[in-house]
Chain A
Amino acid sequence: MHKELMNKKDIDRALTRMAHEIMERNKGIKKLCLVGIQRGGVYLAERLAAKIRQIEKKEIPVGSLDIAFYRDDLSIRKEQPLVRRTEVPCEITGLKVILVDDVLFTGRSIRAAMDALTDLGRPAAIQLMVLIDRGHRELPIKADYVGKNIPTALSETVEVQLKEEGFEDRVILMKSAGKAVEHAQ
């Protein structure tokens, strides 16, 4: 039971548009750094960086951030989240960091990501890019760049499937709680 919300082309177009928005809003890519949240966000950050490089003909640093140690639900989850690597290739103090995630839902992952990031340094600013905003925020958090806004019911789940993880690129909405529940942090 699922419905396709975005296909390969839709995802690619959304990323192209957001790459332009990021450069427009920041007047280029000087002092910018992209940081993807493990795991889906990391692939999207890399794709976004590739687009920016293509357009600007300049390098932009890309990193990955694991938020397991900063989650607020460690004592209530059924099992501990897998710990993945945090690799931020540049000194983030003084840089504008664009956090990249696949689905924005309660906002709790982003809260954890901001805590993780500020333990690495003091960025000049943090901006947020998400491929999907599905609503239902539990914290005062808002994305700066959104691929697609999708109104959802709490019982539904949104899953971003990417070719880097062995899928065909697409975003699907599922009626019953499925695998995508993990995005809800």
Chain B
Amino acid sequence: MLNKKDLLGIKELSAEEIILILDTAGGFRDVLGRDIKKVPTLRGKTTVNLFYEPSTRTRTSFELAAKRLSTDVINFSVPTSSVVKGESLIDTALTVQALGADFIIIRHSSSGVPHLLAKKLRASVINAGDGINEHPTQALLDAFTIREKKGKIKGLLIAIVGDIAHSRVAKSNIYSLTKLGAGIRLIGPPTLIPSEIAGMGVQVFHNMEEGLKGVDVLMMLRIQMERQDKGFFPSTEEYSRNWGLTPDRVALAKDDAIVMHPGPMNRGIEIVSEIADGPRSVILEQVTNGIAVRMAVMYLLSGFRR
């Protein structure tokens, strides 16, 4: 049972709660495969997407999840809202709540914003990515995809490759996959892997070939182009040479290893097209599973009783 009002991060969840979300998502995955991809479960409720950072896939995925649960959806995108007139974050959120929102999906460039809103609001707050902190629904859809492909998560060896330091996706995945009993290898240049991270029960590799040996899952991270000029790596060419996923490197992993990417991909930089579109890639399934997992989260949060 998940008696929670909000989903703020994986850090706050137990292994049992994560498994409950994944099991529930299985039921919604069935629904998405039908002709009628909609259920009346949350009829009469309202969802507001409050995105302070650009996003296409996460916002669309939440929008579809909310619609397929029969809630009404409003998209509040910041460039067109009162925020440009100087309205504060809390005021915007309170206004959205006063409009009758039951679910507020928030993305913000500052870590901790969803936690702040969750305290101030009666509505359920779902973190759709906050700064470099967490992106819990991405980690849940990744875990769902791995479990579906591999039949289990416990005991698997999972490599996460790239800019760990600035990745909320990596952080949420480390929390979730270690809680579920997988072994994690973080692979990337020392400038992009914070040294304290070893305390999270992971292995760190600064050599891609070594790190990929024998892994079951290769999880690539997006190289954040906006950080390219900050000196974390010399050039995209060099990054690609050392940390890009190529057929030769995939061959070092287990024969049945799967390749994942949270998107949007920089083709030819962190992953070559041949791999991204190849038979090992589950990247498009991740997208479909994302809707099911987000439906499961909304369904379970709606069961919160004060």
A86 vs B24: C-alpha distance when bound (angstroms): 12
A33 at interface (Cβ–Cβ under 8 A)? no
Which listed residue, A69, A74, A75, A87, touches B31 by the CB 8 Å rule? A69
Are A83 and B303 in contact (CB-based, < 8 A)?
no
Interface size on A, residues (CB 8 A): 20
What size tier do the contact residues of chain B reach?
Answer: 20 to 34
A80 at interface (Cβ–Cβ under 8 A)? yes
Which listed residue, B27, B41, B303, touches A77 by the CB 8 Å rule? B303
Q: Which of A69, A86, A120 has the most CB of B within 10 A?
A: A69
Q: A115-B40, A119-B39 are in contact. Are A84 and B27 (CB under 8 A)?
A: yes
Q: Mark A75-113, 1 if CB is under 8 A from B, else 0.
A: 101111011111100000000000000000000000000
Q: A78-B305, A83-B23, A83-B299 are in contact. Are A70 and B40 (CB under 8 A)?
A: yes
Min CB distance B3 to A, Å, is: 7
Are B39 and A83 in contact (CB-based, < 8 A)?
no
Are A85 and B30 in contact (CB-based, < 8 A)?
yes
Q: Mark B74-114, 1 if CB is under 8 A from A, else 0.
A: 00000000000000000000000000000000000000000
Which listed residue, A70, A80, A85, A115, touches B299 by the CB 8 Å rule? A80
A32 at interface (Cβ–Cβ under 8 A)? no
Are B303 and A69 in contact (CB-based, < 8 A)?
no
Q: Could you jot down 17 A-B contacts, CB within 8 Å? A: A66-B27, A69-B40, A69-B299, A70-B40, A70-B41, A74-B303, A79-B1, A82-B24, A83-B24, A83-B26, A85-B26, A85-B27, A86-B27, A86-B30, A86-B31, A87-B30, A120-B36
Interface residues of B in 99-158 (CB under 8 A from A): none
Q: Mark A167-183, 1 if CB is under 8 A from B, else 0.
A: 00000000000000000
Residues of B within 8 A of A69 (CB): 27, 31, 39-41, 299
Residue of B at shortest CB range from A93? B35
B71 at interface (Cβ–Cβ under 8 A)? no
Closest CB pairs A-B (n = 10): A80-B303, A83-B27, A69-B39, A69-B41, A83-B24, A119-B36, A79-B1, A86-B30, A79-B303, A80-B300
Q: How would you classify the secondary structure of chain A's contact residues: helix, strand, loop or mixed?
A: loop
A87 vs B30: C-alpha distance when bound (angstroms): 8
Min CB distance A1 to B, Å, is: 27
A176 vs B202: C-alpha distance when bound (angstroms): 51
A68 at interface (Cβ–Cβ under 8 A)? yes
Q: How would you classify the secondary structure of chain B's contact residues: helix, strand, loop or mixed?
A: loop
Residue of A at shortest CB range from B38? A119
Are A70 and B302 in contact (CB-based, < 8 A)?
no
Residue of A at shortest CB range from B303? A80
Residues of A within 8 A of B41 (CB): 68-70, 74
Are B303 and A70 in contact (CB-based, < 8 A)?
no
Residues of B within 8 A of A119 (CB): 34, 36, 38-39
Residues of A within 8 A of B35 (CB): 121
Interface residues of B in 1-20 (CB under 8 A from A): 1-3
Min CB distance B239 to A, Å, is: 42
Residue of A at shortest CB range from B69? A69
Residues of B within 8 A of A83 (CB): 23-24, 26-28, 296, 299
Q: Mark A113-127, 1 if CB is under 8 A from B, else 0.
A: 001000111000000
Residues of A within 8 A of B3 (CB): 79
Min CB distance B7 to A, Å, is: 14
Residue of B at shortest CB range from A120? B34
A82 vs B34: C-alpha distance when bound (angstroms): 21
